[in-house]
Amino acid sequence: MAFRSSIILALLVLLYPHSTCSQTISVGSSLTAASNTNPWRSSPNGDFALGFKQLQPNTGLFLLAIWFDKIPDKTTVWYERSSYPVPRGSMLRLDSANGLILQDPQGRLLYNTSTGGPVDQVSHALLNDTGNFVIRLRDSSILWESFRHPTDTILPSQSIEMGDTLVSRRTEANFSVGRFYASISNNGRFIFNTKNVPSNSDYDDEYYGGTTSPPNASEAVIRAKFDSGALISLVRRNGQDQILSPRSIPLSSDNYYRATLDFDGIFTQYCHPKNFGSNPSWQIASSWPQNICRNINGFTGSGACGYNSVCRLVNQRPVCECPQGFSLADPSNPYGNCEPQFVQGCTDGGNEYDLVIIDDTDWPNNDYERKKPCPEEQCRIACQEDCFCDVSIYRDNSCWKKRLPLSNGRVDTSQGLKPFLKIRKRDVTLRNPRPRRDRQTLIFVISVLLGSSSFINCLFITAACVLLFFGYNRIFRGPSPVQDPSASNIRCFTYKELVQATDGFKDELGTGAFGIVYKGSIQNGLVAVKRLDRMFQDSDKEFKTEVNVIGRTHHKNLVSLIGFCEEGPHRLLVYEYMSNGTLADFLFGDLRASWSQRTQIAMGIAQGLTYLHEECSSQIIHCDIKPHNILLDEYYIARISDFGLAKLLTMNQSKTLTNIQGTKGYVAPEWFRNTQISNSEMVRIQF
CA distances for 116 relative to 48, 97, 99, 122, 162, angstroms: 28, 9, 11, 12, 22
pLDDT tens-place string over residues 188-229: 899 999 987 656 566 657 888 877 666 677 889 999 999 999
**27 or 591, greater pLDDT:** 27
Residue 599 in any domain: the answer is yes
404 in the same domain as 464? no
Please report which confidence band the pLDDT of residue 45 belongs to, taking 50, 70 and 90 as the band edges.
Answer: confident
pLDDT tens-place string over residues 542-568: 667 667 777 777 888 888 888 888 888
Task: Please state, rounded to an integer, the average pLDDT across all residues of the chain.
Answer: 79
**207 or 635, greater pLDDT:** 207
CATH at residue 114? 2.90.10.10
381 in the same domain as 452? no
Q: What is the pLDDT of residue 218?
A: 81
Q: How far apart are CA 265 and CA 178, in angstroms?
A: 9
Q: Is the pLDDT of residue 408 over 70?
A: yes
210 in the same domain as 162? yes
Residue 567 in any domain: the answer is yes
Q: How far apart are CA 151 and CA 182, in angstroms?
A: 10
Lowest mean pLDDT among 23-27, 57-61, 322-326: 57-61
Q: What is the pLDDT of residue 199?
A: 60
Q: Identity (one letter) of the amino acid at 27?
A: V
Are 477 and 548 in contact, with CB atoms under 8 Å apart?
no
Q: Identity (one letter) of the amino acid at 249?
A: I
430: DSSP letter: -
For residues 76, 79, 84 and 86, what is the CA-based torsion angle, rounded to 10 degrees? -80
CA R_g for the chain: 34
- Kindly state the average pLDDT of the residues 527-552: 68
Q: What is the pLDDT of residue 112?
A: 93
As to burial, measured by CB atoms within 10 angstroms (0-12 exposed, 13-18 middle, 19+ buried), residue 37 is middle
624 counts as catalytic: yes
Q: How far apart are CA 232 and CA 30, in angstroms?
A: 35
The partner residues of 423 in beta bridges, in order of sequence, read 354
Lowest mean pLDDT among 25-39, 201-215, 240-254: 201-215
Which of 47, 262, 624, 633 does the annotation list as catalytic?
624
Q: How far apart are CA 404 and CA 206, in angstroms?
A: 23
Q: Is the pLDDT of residue 77 over 90?
A: yes
Residue 429 in any domain: the answer is no
Q: How far apart are CA 27 and CA 122, in angstroms?
A: 7
Q: How far apart are CA 344 and CA 360, in angstroms?
A: 24
- Kindly state the average pLDDT of the residues 48-63: 90
526 in the same domain as 501? yes
Residue 14 in any domain: the answer is no
635 in the same domain as 511? yes
Q: How far apart are CA 302 and CA 296, in angstroms?
A: 9
Dihedral class, residue 6 (left if φ above 0, else alpha if ψ from -120 to 50, else beta):
alpha
Are 125 and 94 in contact, with CB atoms under 8 Å apart?
yes
Residue 684 in any domain: the answer is no
pLDDT tens-place string over residues 288-345: 999 999 999 888 889 999 999 999 999 999 999 999 989 998 888 899 999 998 876 6
CA distances for 637 relative to 126, 210, 555, angstroms: 56, 51, 12
Q: How far apart are CA 640 and CA 611, in angstroms?
A: 11
Residue 616 in any domain: the answer is yes
pLDDT tens-place string over residues 12-22: 434 333 333 44
The string of DSSP letters for 32-52 reads ESSTTPPPEE-SSS--EEEEE
Q: How far apart are CA 74 and CA 46, in angstroms?
A: 13
Q: What is the pLDDT of residue 649?
A: 36
How are beta strands 158-161 and 133-137 bridged, if at all? unpaired
CA distances for 544 relative to 97, 408, 492, 622, angstroms: 62, 59, 13, 16
Q: How far apart are CA 241 and CA 647, in angstroms?
A: 79
Residue 37 in any domain: the answer is yes
Residue 683 in any domain: the answer is no
594 in the same domain as 467? no
Q: How far apart are CA 465 and CA 458, in angstroms?
A: 11
Q: How far apart are CA 154 and CA 259, in angstroms?
A: 5
How are beta strands 48-54 and 40-41 bridged, if at all? antiparallel
**664 or 553, greater pLDDT:** 553
First-to-last C-alpha distance (Å) of the chain: 81
568 in the same domain as 443? no
590 in the same domain as 448? no
Are 241 and 222 in contact, with CB atoms under 8 Å apart?
no
Q: How far apart are CA 210 and CA 233, in angstroms?
A: 10
Range of the domain at 401: 310-424
Number of domains in the chain: 5
- Kindly state the average pLDDT of the residues 466-473: 45
Where do the DSSP E strands lie in 523-592?
Answer: 525-531, 561-567, 570-576
Are 630 and 593 in contact, with CB atoms under 8 Å apart?
no
Lowest mean pLDDT among 153-162, 173-182, 400-409, 641-650: 641-650
